[in-house]
Structure 1
Amino acid sequence: PITINGWSPRNDSRRNSGAVSLRTAFAYSLNTVAAKLGQEVGFATVADMARRFGITTPVNTHPSMVLGTSDVRLLDMTRAFASVASKGVAVTPYGITRVSSNGQTIYTHEVDRSHVLVAPYVAAEMTDLLQTAVNTGTGRAAQIGRPVAGKTGTTSSSKDGWFLGFSSGITTGVWMGRDDARPIAGLHGGTAPARAWAAFMKPATANRPIEQFDTQVTLPEWQLEPDEESYFGQPDNGDPGQMVDGDGNPIERPAPTQPAPDYDAGPPPIDGDQPAPVQPQQLNQDWIDRVTGRDGPPRDGSGRDAPRRDGPAGRQPLQRDVPRDRYQDERPIQ
């Protein structure tokens, strides 16, 4: 269930179906899903798209507009469905195809296909949903033995019943209702309107080739999900590419950071002097005395104790050879 500004739509079955796919909701005309979708897209956006497809009557933007509370003309609705059938190209109704006089043609209607309403892949998705509504949904009575894409429509209290669809290059719209807008018991778009549509379209398409709908969706490159390999590594030409934020907007690539200075390296050379090469540290007794803070006697270059000349100053050299009797009687503590 859903409530929008105090309005709570109900399904025709008076039951809530829970979580369903958009295809199922479209096929079975679930009002609650239509209301939720209209809320997410924006009711003003829905009205703008209706006018884009040729609806010439005023379209309100109240939440209930997604269920068909605005008055529309049958010709405008049929025109909108014909534009979907033409893969998103606008269709303009006309009544005269050719005028001739004395065997000479003085006028021929030329179809203008320059006004594109939606991309072909969007029209393909719409056609796929419309075909599902006829194959398995509320429009099953409109089946005529060849591919059909269409949609049922029923207003509150069964005052109006609609079925609009196309097949084999022909688009037809059916409306049923009373001039005084009084309810008609048992009227639904999937009953009498769908049967009337099928009764007309079956002979109308009998001599036309059976056409399969092009419902193969080919998304534009900017909507394709990159392959996993695209997230790693650098391109072959060395170009790191453009960085974008979380919303896909280009951002400036940060400048590379400078390495921290090495304070232990000493001052830089002056006047072009080259620094002396670093000599490897000898691990001798002098080195041990320095790192342990002990002041020992001076050492010669080999690390041995140099001869002492200043008397007892400084500590005595470490005794290397310890007599065995100093430790041979020691026992481990039990």
Structure 2
Amino acid sequence: MSASGNRGGRNARSGRRLVAERRNAAPAKPSRSSGSGGSGRKSGRSRRRTPQRRRGGIRGAIGAFFRLIWRIVFGIVWRATLALVLILAGATAYIYSTLPPMTELVDGRARGSVTMLDRDGNVFAWRGEQYGGLIDTETVSEHVVNAIVATEDRRFFSHWGISPRGIASAIRINLREGRGPLEGHGGSTITQQVAKLLCLGVAFDPDEWETEAEYEADCRRGSLWRKIQELPFSLAMELRYTKQEILTIYLNRAYMGAGAFGVEAASQRYFGHSAAEISPQEGAMIAGLLTAPSRFAPTSSLERSQDRAAVVLGLMEEQGYLTAAEAAEARANPATLSDAAEARAGGYFADWVMTQGPDFLLRETTEDVIIRTTFDPRMQEAAEAALVDVFENQVREGSEAEAAIIVMSADGAVRAMVGGRQEGTGLFNRATMAMRQTGSAFKPFVYATALDLGWRFDDLVEDAPLTINVPGSGPYSPRNYTGEFYGTVTLTEALRASLNTPAVRLSEEVGRDLVRTVAAEFGIESDLALGPALALGASESTLIEMTGAYAGILNGGSAVTPYGLVDLRLVGDTEPMMGQGGGIRERVISEFAARQLTYMMAEVVANGTGQRAQLPDRPVAGKTGTTTSARDAWFIGFTADYVAGVWMGYDDNSPMSGVTGGGLPAEIWRQTMETIHDGLPPRPLPMIDPAEEARPELIEEAPGRRPDIAEQILMEVLGLLGANRN
């Protein structure tokens, strides 16, 4: 057999077939048939793979386990993500279908507003929820839009309503500052803030929330669930409205402090002009309010508001809305309040006027109302300045004594009102609410009763010890302030020196019931004492009642109803819905009686206990009043033009030290009225001329007696008054 034949056959020795090794060929598939050849190939394959199994044993099993877990988690995650996306898309689509046109969302107030005009037609006070009217991104000053975007949401025009970066940044800041992740900084976009303002489309339901305040607080909660709810609502708004429309809703609905809702109301409230005219520094102040409207309101603290505005100006410069020069100029000339806003005048008056009409048009109005009032800001400023001056310079430092002032015209039109030393709104108004004993300030009504019955100013009355047995109380013995008695005096002398026993004798003579009737008809509606102490002001009354009653003396004897509301109309209407709620009413005493009483009260100021209230260029009539232990001190008086009343005392009714009605109250009255009458020509009081009315027989009987007695009384009384410090 040839060599070539042996290559294809078997080796003679081994019996094996000789085959050339194919290095690059794929390994032969194992034969399915049994035999040595197949067995050899199978055994060789096993030998090659055995080491690989050993290397992948434990680690392979672990890897396979984690690959299995990953496939399970990945499957869950992508399925859950898909489900959430579908849920979010469905919620967004549903909310989108429920969103109304933008114009229906700009005014979200639950209540209306009340704007008050003074006697010259200028705005001086606001109440309720003020809304200045629709303003959009086209009509508002660009400085407002730029300031708000720079401060609240610099990526507003590029995102889809939510900003994960902003939320993450806010959470990081909150945690760093020791708060919860959602407490403090919210990371909300302007769109999300609008979603809050719209309360996610949930309307107020009185069955679910007791008050609108609770409803609004619930709308502004910052919980995780609330944040989740904001997502579809914000996305729906981004799809439903343009960026300009979303910003317009924000500009109109956002609360701006001091009862102002929206940029237009805030601009009118703080700066006295439209939001279309806002400067960069004013725009920065408006934007600064959004963080904390009540805290940063310029009417609360102008300095704090200006500091916040400076920060906003820096953001506007940083983001290119202002050049460095413009920002520097704005910081050098910060925004200030308008004259009306800065004055903050008439807080007590405005609160009182809000009680002068029906609730549904004032305190509970859902409309925007404009009220014309009797208020005079110049007189208000005069009263406030007088009060401050006296307490700063004539009252001991730290005293908690209080005072109240009212100025009105003879027909009862209230021009100024100070209800206490503290300024503000919603405060206890001592001019209208405090019930205090009137003391000798009540005596003019005793004399008014007698004069109307036919007594004369120069009739005689006895000032001597007097004891009256009061059933159930025992004997009552009035005494004069000086502790002395002066014998027979005229009615004028008795009132001028504020003698007590003549007033009680006269009251008993004419009848206490009639005195109570006259006082009530003059407007003192409080319960009046039944005993003889009625004549000495043992009853309680308010300053506004007493001042209104004195106005009746000034106008010739007709009662008045103090009023502050002239007329009321709705915004947009030309005709008022209601008119004046007060003024001159029926006659109480005759004009001649009133003219005599005015003369007698003029003597109180000219030569009696009220001399400290004298004005340099015109006559004054008035009456002092001091109660037991100086718990209350009054001075009420008038010129031919105006009547004013002043009360002073402690809220807890504790005694004052050395204060009488002829002291500090008369001083406050004088300073107030001196400023009020500056520039007014002097006019005579509507009173009798005693020389023309005097009876000749009285003059012939005792030509020198009355001046001597009057001088003696005056010296003793003035010696007890002094310059008082409380």
TM-score (norm 2): 0.29
In structure 1, distance between residues paired with 2:678 and 2:573: 30
Whichever residue aligns with residue 481 of structure 2, its letter is D
Change (3 A) 1:131 1:52: same
State the secondary structure of the residue aligned to 1:118: coil
Q: Which residue of 2 aligns with 1:115?
A: 586
In structure 2, distance between residues paired with 1:29 and 1:105: 50
What is the aligned counterpart of 1:198 among 648, 666, 670? 670
Alignment of 1:161-310 (within 5 A): 161-216=633-688
Change (3 A) 1:110 1:96: closer
Identity of counterpart residues, as a percentage?
Answer: 37
In structure 1, distance between residues paired with 2:573 and 2:526: 41
Alignment of 1:69-88 (within 5 A): 69-88=538-557
Shift of residue 113, structure 1, vs aligned partner? 3.9
Q: Deviations over 1:28-56 (max 9, x none)?
A: 10011111111111112111111111111
Q: Deviations over 1:228-269 (max 9, x none)?
A: xxxxxxxxxxxxxxxxxxxxxxxxxxxxxxxxxxxxxxxxxx
Q: Does 1:140 align with 2:650?
A: no
Change (3 A) 1:33 1:202: same
What is the aligned counterpart of 2:536 among 54, 57, 67? 67
Check whether the contact 2:562–2:583 (CA below 8 A) recurs between aligned residues. no
What is the aligned counterpart of 1:4 among 464, 468, 480? 468
Change (3 A) 1:54 1:15: same
State the secondary structure of the residue aligned to 2:565: coil
**Structure 2 residue runs without a partner (length 5+):** 1-464, 470-474, 696-726
Shift of residue 168, structure 1, vs aligned partner? 3.3
Check whether the contact 1:168–1:209 (CA below 8 A) recurs between aligned residues. no
- Report the RMSD for the aligned CA atoms in angstroms: 2.1
In structure 1, distance between residues paired with 2:550 and 2:575: 31
Shift of residue 208, structure 1, vs aligned partner? 2.2
Q: Does 1:124 align with 2:595?
A: yes
In structure 1, distance between residues paired with 2:650 and 2:674: 26
Check whether the contact 1:143–1:198 (CA below 8 A) recurs between aligned residues. yes
Check whether the contact 1:168–1:208 (CA below 8 A) recurs between aligned residues. no
In structure 2, distance between residues paired with 1:194 and 1:66: 22
Change (3 A) 1:59 1:37: same
Whichever residue aligns with residue 628 of structure 2, its letter is S
State the secondary structure of the residue aligned to 2:635: strand
TM-score (norm 1): 0.62
Q: Which residue of 1 aligns with 2:486?
A: 17
Change (3 A) 1:48 1:108: closer
In structure 1, distance between residues paired with 2:582 and 2:520: 20
In structure 2, distance between residues paired with 1:111 and 1:217: 32
Runs of 4+ off more than 6 Å: none
In structure 1, distance between residues paired with 2:549 and 2:643: 10
In structure 1, distance between residues paired with 2:581 and 2:481: 44
How many correspondences in the alignment? 219
Change (3 A) 1:114 1:54: closer
In structure 2, distance between residues paired with 1:135 and 1:16: 22
Return 102-111 or 24-33, whichever deviates more. 102-111
Return 209-218 or 58-67, whichever deviates more. 209-218
Whichever residue aligns with residue 170 of structure 1, its letter is Y
In structure 1, distance between residues paired with 2:585 and 2:523: 15
Q: Which residue of 2 aligns with 1:51?
A: 520
In structure 2, distance between residues paired with 1:18 and 1:63: 20
In structure 1, distance between residues paired with 2:479 and 2:539: 18
Whichever residue aligns with residue 83 of structure 1, its letter is G
State the secondary structure of the residue aligned to 1:176: strand
In structure 2, distance between residues paired with 1:194 and 1:211: 21
In structure 2, distance between residues paired with 1:24 and 1:217: 16
Check whether the contact 1:138–1:190 (CA below 8 A) recurs between aligned residues. yes
Whichever residue aligns with residue 208 of structure 1, its letter is L
Shift of residue 104, structure 1, vs aligned partner? 4.6
Q: Does 1:153 align with 2:612?
A: no
In structure 1, distance between residues paired with 2:581 and 2:666: 32
In structure 2, distance between residues paired with 1:123 and 1:52: 14
In structure 2, distance between residues paired with 1:34 and 1:74: 22
Q: Deviations over 1:42-98 (max 9, x none)?
A: 112111111111111100120111111111111100010001111112211111234
In structure 2, distance between residues paired with 1:147 and 1:28: 18
Change (3 A) 1:131 1:105: farther
In structure 2, distance between residues paired with 1:104 and 1:209: 36
In structure 1, distance between residues paired with 2:504 and 2:573: 56
Q: Does 1:42 align with 2:511?
A: yes
Whichever residue aligns with residue 130 of structure 1, its letter is M
Shift of residue 122, structure 1, vs aligned partner? 1.0
Shift of residue 109, structure 1, vs aligned partner? 3.1
Shift of residue 141, structure 1, vs aligned partner? 0.3
In structure 1, distance between residues paired with 2:478 and 2:524: 24
In structure 2, distance between residues paired with 1:67 and 1:49: 15
What is the aligned counterpart of 1:95 among 555, 564, 570? 564
State the secondary structure of the residue aligned to 1:19: strand
Check whether the contact 2:640–2:686 (CA below 8 A) recurs between aligned residues. no
In structure 1, distance between residues paired with 2:584 and 2:568: 22
Q: Deviations over 1:271-319 (max 9, x none)?
A: xxxxxxxxxxxxxxxxxxxxxxxxxxxxxxxxxxxxxxxxxxxxxxxxx
Change (3 A) 1:131 1:95: same
In structure 2, distance between residues paired with 1:213 and 1:3: 37
In structure 2, distance between residues paired with 1:188 and 1:144: 19
**Structure 1 residue runs without a partner (length 5+):** 219-224, 226-334
Whichever residue aligns with residue 84 of structure 1, its letter is I
Q: Which residue of 2 aligns with 1:292?
A: none
Q: Which of the two has greater helix per residue?
A: 2
Q: Which residue of 2 aligns with 1:33?
A: 502
Whichever residue aligns with residue 661 of structure 2, its letter is G
Change (3 A) 1:158 1:66: same
Return 134-143 or 34-43, whichever deviates more. 34-43
Check whether the contact 2:554–2:686 (CA below 8 A) recurs between aligned residues. no
Check whether the contact 2:523–2:549 (CA below 8 A) recurs between aligned residues. yes
Check whether the contact 1:124–1:217 (CA below 8 A) recurs between aligned residues. no
Check whether the contact 1:88–1:119 (CA below 8 A) recurs between aligned residues. yes
Shift of residue 206, structure 1, vs aligned partner? 1.3
Q: Which residue of 1 aligns with 2:93?
A: none
